[in-house]
């Protein structure tokens, strides 16, 4: 069991103001796998003050010096990816093969991408008689979730460091252990004191204190839309810059000429990845009404082939949900789907026969779903797929866009030109065509209540910059 008794503030490990600890539960064994300090407002004050004191020095460093630090962190993350992957697997429940491939390897690659981007970035340019200068935004507060914990942290820390910002990180209490691994790396490479600070604790206390703090210039939050609304309210009191990456209820449209076997199987695998705990998960599968039975048959077969079980087994594809609370939330949604008239094709709210322990929900597929049903409108955050029949292409686009969210989407068609035409009409921040691969250099973020601002790529770096015009 990993026990961290101290917070990382002003470049050193520091005792928290309170002796209280947060217990981290392994969602497969249902037993503790770690403990971290439960920070207080006093700890937030120390961390923000450290970041404020460090800002002038760090922001004044040449971009090449900041790039060198980012590159060193990337290398250390790469060295420790097996260890970090194991840590995240134990606190999150993601199978070890995926935890190393995604949860630890991807953050290392994202950190390295910002070393490259910042190296080539145009920090100033001449426009007429003006010099346009891009400068660091200031002291940043980062509030991050548990589903892709280190990836979401690095998506903020990497561009902020490259831009010249200083920061205070508050990771999720469900999966905070990986954040301490990052702090260890930062201490090891000798980042100047106060540039990076880590305070764990309750969101309602530590998170809100960061959002209210008058010396915090920018807040970057990833999490639920409900929490994002609250952060927006708090930040507005001091007119802070805010980046929000929130929820989703994304649709995958199968046009009538799509490869149904490939597309439907892909949909089931994607909804079971990380047990469906992915904000950009394609949770609504839109199919031509005449071919719904065909899609259901393929989906049921694909769901039956998902290896569910012990996250430490490399052959496991899907592990448990992160907590008993999250499992119960998903079960309630499944019951609501049945009550509202959707047809349960496989899975369900009952505890699976196997495994005997862990916070599991079986891969669950509904057919005959209408877009007015709760399971089609609200983010479930579990392995639940809603198959929604549509009449024609225009109806499919209408259904896909009929959501308060706009984070992701997908289109499948034998004609790439046709798929692109539909993709351009979807009101979402990203769209995959025929299973297009994830690109860590492409901006990530959403429309509507999926948030605002972008992470990753050049656009992610620019979120942490202010623009100054100097007239000559």
Residue 84 lies in a domain: yes
pLDDT in tens, 423-440: 999 999 999 999 999 999
Residue 293 lies in a domain: yes
pLDDT in tens, 122-161: 999 999 999 999 999 999 999 999 999 999 999 999 999 9
DSSP state, residue 203: I
DSSP 35-91: EEE---HHHHHHHHHHHHHHHHHHHHS-HHHHHHHHHHHHHHHHHTHHHHHHHHHHH
Close Cβ partners of 239 (under 8 Å, ≥ 6 residues apart): none
The CATH number of residue 55's host domain is: 3.40.605.10
19 with 135, same domain: the answer is yes
Amino acid 163: pLDDT: 98
Amino acid 392: pLDDT: 98
Q: What percent of the chain has pLDDT over 90?
A: 99
Q: What percent of the chain has pLDDT over 70?
A: 100
First-residue to last-residue Cα distance in the chain: 60
Radius of gyration of the chain (CA): 22
How far is C-alpha 234 from the chain's CA centre? 22
Give the separation between CA 39 and CA 21, rounded to whole angstroms: 8
φ, ψ at 182 (rounded to 5°): -65, -45
Query: Is pLDDT above 90 for 351?
Result: no
pLDDT in tens, 99-130: 999 999 999 999 999 999 999 999 999 999 99
282 with 194, same domain: the answer is no
The CATH number of residue 335's host domain is: 3.40.309.10
Domain extent for 124: 2-246+450-471
245 a catalytic residue: yes
229 with 280, same domain: the answer is no
pLDDT in tens, 199-209: 999 999 999 99
Q: Please count the structural domains in the chain.
A: 2
Full 3-state SS string of 359-426: CCCCCEEEECCCCCCHHHHCCCCCCEEEEEEECCHHHHHHHHHCCCEECCEEEECCCHHHHHHHHCCC
Q: pTM score, two decimals?
A: 0.97
Give the separation between CA 357 and CA 26, rounded to whole angstroms: 11
With residue 154 as reference, give the H or E element that holds it.
helix 149-163
User: What is the rounded average pLDDT for all residues in the chain?
Assistant: 97
Query: Is pLDDT above 90 for 353?
Result: no
Strand order in the sheet with 2-3: 2-3, 31-37, 21-26
Close Cβ partners of 195 (under 8 Å, ≥ 6 residues apart): 11, 51, 54, 58, 161, 166, 167
26 with 101, same domain: the answer is yes
CB-CB neighbours of 462 under 10 Å: 17
315 with 433, same domain: the answer is yes
CB 456 within 8 A of CB 245: no
Amino acid 149: pLDDT: 98
CB 446 within 8 A of CB 404: no
117 with 144, same domain: the answer is yes
Amino acid 49: pLDDT: 98
185 with 311, same domain: the answer is no
49 with 102, same domain: the answer is yes
Candidate list 91, 245, 379, 463, residue with the active-site label: 245
Residue 60 lies in a domain: yes
Amino acid 321: pLDDT: 98
Q: Look-up: residue for tokens 């199919």?
A: 287
CB-CB neighbours of 140 under 10 Å: 30
Dihedral sign (CA 10, 82, 90, 347): positive
Candidate list 165, 211, 279, 346, residue with the active-site label: 279
320 with 411, same domain: the answer is yes
How far is C-alpha 220 from the chain's CA centre? 12
Query: Is pLDDT above 90 for 19?
Result: yes
DSSP 104-136: IHHHHHHHHHHHHHHHH---EEEETTEEEEEEE
Give the separation between CA 199 and CA 141, rounded to whole angstroms: 10
- 3-state SS, residue 260: helix
CA distances from 248 to 98, 123, 245, 462 (A): 22, 34, 10, 24
Query: Is pLDDT above 90 for 354?
Result: no
User: Of 160, 205, 207, nearest to 186 (Cα)?
Assistant: 160
CB 465 within 8 A of CB 134: yes
pLDDT in tens, 446-457: 999 999 999 999
181 with 279, same domain: the answer is no
Residue 445 lies in a domain: no
Give the separation between CA 198 and CA 366, rounded to whole angstroms: 42
Cis peptide before 355 (omega within 30 of 0): yes
User: Of 26, 274, 248, nearest to 148 (Cα)?
Assistant: 274
Dihedral sign (CA 198, 102, 255, 378): negative
Residue 357 lies in a domain: yes
430 with 467, same domain: the answer is no
198 with 172, same domain: the answer is yes
Query: Given pLDDT bands bounded at 50, 70 and 90, which one contains residue 465?
Result: very high
């Amino acid at each position: 069991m990993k026990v961290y008794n101290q917070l990382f503030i002003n470049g050193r490990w520091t005792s928290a103001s309170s002796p209280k600890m947060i217990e981290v539960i392994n969602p497969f064994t249902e037993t503790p796998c770690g403990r971290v300090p439960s920070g207080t407002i006093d700890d937030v004050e120390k961390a923000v003050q450290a970041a404020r004191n460090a800002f002038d020095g760090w922001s004044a460093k040449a971009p090449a010096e900041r790039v060198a630090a980012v590159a060193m962190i990337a290398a250390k993350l790469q060295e420790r990816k097996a260890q970090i992957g194991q840590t995240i697997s134990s606190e999150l429940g993601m199978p070890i093969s995926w935890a190393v491939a995604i949860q630890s390897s991807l953050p290392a690659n994202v950190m390295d991408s910002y070393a490259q981007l910042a190296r080539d970035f145009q920090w100033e340019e001449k426009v007429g008689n003006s010099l346009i200068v891009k400068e660091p935004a200031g002291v940043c507060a980062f509030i991050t979730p548990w589903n892709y914990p280190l990836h979401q942290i690095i998506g903020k820390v990497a561009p902020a460091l490259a831009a010249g910002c200083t920061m205070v990180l508050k990771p999720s209490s469900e999966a905070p252990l990986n954040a301490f691994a990052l702090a260890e790396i930062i201490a090891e490479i000798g980042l100047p004191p106060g540039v990076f600070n880590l305070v764990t604790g309750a969101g309602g206390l530590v998170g809100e204190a960061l959002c209210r703090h008058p010396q915090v210039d920018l807040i970057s939050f990833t999490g639920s839309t409900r929490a994002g609304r609250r952060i927006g309210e708090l930040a507005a009191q001091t007119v802070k810059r805010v980046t929000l990456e929130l929820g989703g209820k994304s649709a995958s449209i199968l046009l009538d000429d799509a490869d149904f076997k490939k597309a439907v199987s892909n949909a089931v695998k994607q909804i079971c990845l990380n047990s469906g705990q992915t904000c950009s998960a394609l949770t609504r599968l839109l199919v031509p009404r005449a071919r719904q039975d065909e899609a259901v048959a393929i989906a049921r077969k694909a769901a039956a082939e998902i290896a569910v079980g012990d996250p430490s087994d490399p052959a496991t594809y899907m592990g448990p949900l992160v907590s008993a609370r999250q499992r119960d939330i998903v079960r309630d949604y499944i019951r609501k789907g049945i009550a509202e008239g959707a047809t349960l094709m496989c899975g369900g709210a009952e505890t699976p026969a196997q495994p005997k322990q862990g916070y599991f929900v079986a891969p669950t597929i509904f057919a005959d779903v209408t877009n007015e049903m709760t399971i089609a409108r609200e983010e479930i955050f579990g392995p639940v797929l809603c198959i929604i029949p549509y009449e024609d292409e225009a109806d499919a686009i209408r259904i896909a866009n009929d959501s308060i969210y706009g984070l992701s989407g997908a289109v499948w068609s034998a004609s790439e030109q046709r798929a692109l035409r539909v993709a351009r009409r979807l009101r979402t921040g990203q769209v995959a065509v025929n299973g297009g691969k994830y690109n860590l250099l492409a901006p990530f973020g959403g429309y509507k209540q999926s948030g605002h601002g972008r992470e990753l790529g050049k656009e992610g770096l620019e979120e942490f910059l202010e623009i100054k015009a100097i007239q000559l």
